[in-house]
Amino acid sequence: MVGLGNPGSEFAGTRHNVGAEVAALLVERHRGRLRAEKGLHALACTVSIDGRSVLVAVPQTYMNESGIAVRPLVRRSGLEDSDQGGDRHLGARLIVVHDELDLPSGRVKVKAGGGSAGHNGLKSIEHHLHTRDYLRVRIGIGKPRGRQPGADYVLERPGSAERAELAVAVGEATDAVEAIVSKGAGEAMNRVNATS
């Protein structure tokens, strides 16, 4: 599971970092600790969820270079060597959690595959893995009002009301990752997408 964001305290709490917040919460719930690991461009930790080992990571590259971190994570976890045909068929074995401009703020959805919808982190992952075939847990951050560029909007810290909404969404997205691991992608999608 990879939670996308930008590294550094100047990006903490921004809309673009909600994926990284999910990774941190997931690790906290399962009594782990994210740490730098040799050969990875990420903070990572393996936790046990329902008896399954899950590698949880937060890239330490900037968002538009997320694939540089995800590629070695896929190798490290052995996903590309699976009997399902390598990393072109990651399917439900790779979960990427990210912010989504095309969903209202606070809405959480699970999606299998698909395009990047202009998200630079997803574009980078697709470029480095040569596939779109992985699960996404999408956290809605809404669209900017007026003519504000999307790039500026995602790097802002939201006001207190929106921050509270996003905190709830981070919890729901963490629940969604746990459901994917323990119940499977189909059941998780049915549950999360029906209620969000």
Which residues form the catalytic set?
16
Task: Yes or no: say if 40 and 7 are a contact pair by the CB < 8 Å rule.
Answer: no
At 91, list the tokens. 């399917």
Task: Yes or no: say if 3 and 80 are a contact pair by the CB < 8 Å rule.
Answer: no
Could you tell me which residues come within 8 angstroms of residue 40 by beta carbon, excluding any fewer than 6 positions away?
Answer: 57, 69, 72, 73, 76
Task: Yes or no: say if 22 and 142 are a contact pair by the CB < 8 Å rule.
Answer: no
